[in-house]
Amino acid sequence: MTLRILIDGRPLVGHRTGIGVHTAEIARRLGGHRLIASHAAIADREGLDGCELRVDAAPLGVIWQQLVLPRIEADVLWGPHGTLPLAGDVPAVATIHDFTSITMPGRHRIQTILSFNLFIAQSLTRAKRVAAVSRRVAEETVRGFAIARTKIEIVPNGVDELFSPGGDEGDYILYVGTLEPRKGLDDLLDAWRSLSPRPRLILCGSAGWGTKIADEAGIEKTGFVDRERLRALYRGARLFVYPSRSEGFGIPPLEAMACGAPVVATRVGAIPEYAEGAALLVEPGDRDGLQRAMQRALSSRALRDELRLAGPARAAGYRWDRSAQLMNELLAEAARCA
């Protein structure tokens, strides 16, 4: 029998950030009939050709999730945003990316805090299985919500085959990610300004909230870019820097490594799990340590060449096909619990 999979498509509304990428890359590779439902139109449908899309317009995603989503028929529901509709009897799998709206509420919009914090505990209890993007997130789920470890499976993020080495080293430092407080951009700017010599800095990503970066000589803000442009930026970076203060996983450093960019990143989320020994890692918030790591890499072509070789080899162990296979197994297990 073909499994009818219902996917909460809210992470796909608007530009795809980390959770949106996770949702799209796994959804495109799942077996069975995939229905992606959402409260607003999904403009970016790349990779979703094999999925059915449904929109039931609602002013707020959380209202749609709790009142409309439970009424859609399916064999199993996947909640890639962590929370689930509390009503309804469709067995479900919830994916947990992080708990930063609970642990760092000052770094999130009030809408995010309310839609996640009010529903996460009951969602984890309701879920038949829970997918965590890293070992750290899995342990936080066990400790914070008394969820049985046997209920949780690690389903990591991955890298699409598009992201691969190529091209020549450019003359810029690159950051990729949403421009918002928890990404540590103030740390990056402080470290960058103290470099000597100082390559230009490219900030690639959509403007989030709470972070305003003034126009300054040597800084280029690209806004959101498509995947081909993103690959070119990764490939040409003299150095990729990811100074995040908090992550569940952290996809951009992994993509940068896959493209052969030398990476400096903070020890947050899953970054130490996949990057230790293949990138330069510093503690979050350590501006002096960040500056020293950046200066060290910029001053040594041999070190950059070493990291350019190590990155793709490490990233090869993280592919979306494997993540989708794990999610297929979880969804099938949950469906059998109906």
Radius of gyration of the chain (CA): 20
Quick one: 149 and 187 in the same domain? Answer: no
Q: What is the predicted pLDDT for the residue at 210?
A: 57
Q: Side chain identity at 237, as an amino acid letter?
A: A
Residue 284 identity: P
- Whether 134 and 188 share a structural domain: no
Q: Are residues 265 and 148 in the same domain?
A: no
Within 10 Å of residue 2's Cβ, how many Cβ atoms? Answer: 8
> Quick one: 120 and 210 in the same domain?
no
User: What pTM value is reported for the model?
Assistant: 0.88
Q: Is residue 164 part of a domain?
A: no
Q: In the chain, how many domains are there?
A: 2
pLDDT attached to residue 255: 97
Whether residue 213 is predicted with pLDDT greater than 90 in this model: the reply is no
At residue 106 the predicted structure's pLDDT band, cuts being 50, 70 and 90, is low
Same domain? 37 vs 93: yes
Inform me whether the pLDDT recorded for 111 exceeds 90.
no
- Tell me, yes or no, whether 265 and 150 share the same domain: no
Q: Is 19 contained in some domain? A: yes
Residues 168-198 pLDDT 10s: 999 999 999 988 888 999 999 999 999 999 9
Write down the pLDDT at residue 107: 57
Please check whether residues 327 and 309 belong to one and the same domain: no
Give the separation between CA 2 and CA 331, rounded to whole angstroms: 12
Residues 267 and 179 occupy one common structural domain: yes
Question: Long-range pairs for 30-34 at CB < 8 Å and ≥24 separation?
Answer: 30/5, 30/324, 30/327, 30/328, 30/331, 31/3, 31/328, 32/2, 32/3, 32/4, 32/5, 32/331, 33/2, 33/3, 33/4, 33/5, 34/5, 34/7
Give domain status of residue 88, yes or no.
Answer: yes
Question: Collapsing DSSP states into helix, strand and coil, what is residue 96?
Answer: strand
Distance CA 189, CA 221 (A): 13
282: its two tokens: 């510093």
Within a domain: 166: no
Average pLDDT, integer, range 315-336: 96
Same domain as 154, residue 10: yes
Pairwise CA distance, residues 79 & 191, whole Å: 38
Task: Return the pLDDT at 105.
Answer: 58
SS3 state of residue 233: helix
CA–CA separation, 249 vs 44, rounded Å? 23
Give the mean model confidence (pLDDT) for residues 24-37. 96
**Amino acid 248: pLDDT:** 82
Is residue 165 included in any domain, yes or no? no
Q: Are residues 83 and 203 in the same domain?
A: no
- Give 239: exposed, middle or buried? Use CB within 10 Å, 0-12, 13-18, 19+: buried
In sequence order, the 6+-apart residues with CB closer than 8 A to the CB of 148 are 142
26: confidence class by pLDDT, cuts 50, 70, 90: very high
Q: Kindly state the percentage of the chain with pLDDT values over 90.
A: 83
For 280, the enclosing helix (H) or strand (E) is strand 280-282
Q: How confident is the model at residue 211 (pLDDT cuts 50, 70, 90)?
A: low
Residue 113 — pLDDT band, cuts 50, 70, 90? low
Residue 150 lies in a domain: yes
By residue range, what is the domain housing residue 273? 172-315
Task: Say how far apart CA 160 and CA 29 lie, in whole Å.
Answer: 12
What is the rounded distance in angstroms from the CA atom of residue 13 to the CA atom of residue 15?
7
- What is the reported pLDDT for 127? 97
Identify the CATH number of the domain in which residue 242 sits. Answer: 3.40.50.2000
Contact 76, 335 (CB under 8 A): yes
Asked if the structure places residue 61 within a domain, the reply is yes
* Residue 163 maps to a domain: no
Q: Are residues 145 and 217 in the same domain?
A: no
Are residue 43 and residue 134 in the same domain, yes or no? yes
Which pair of tokens denotes residue 287? 């501006």
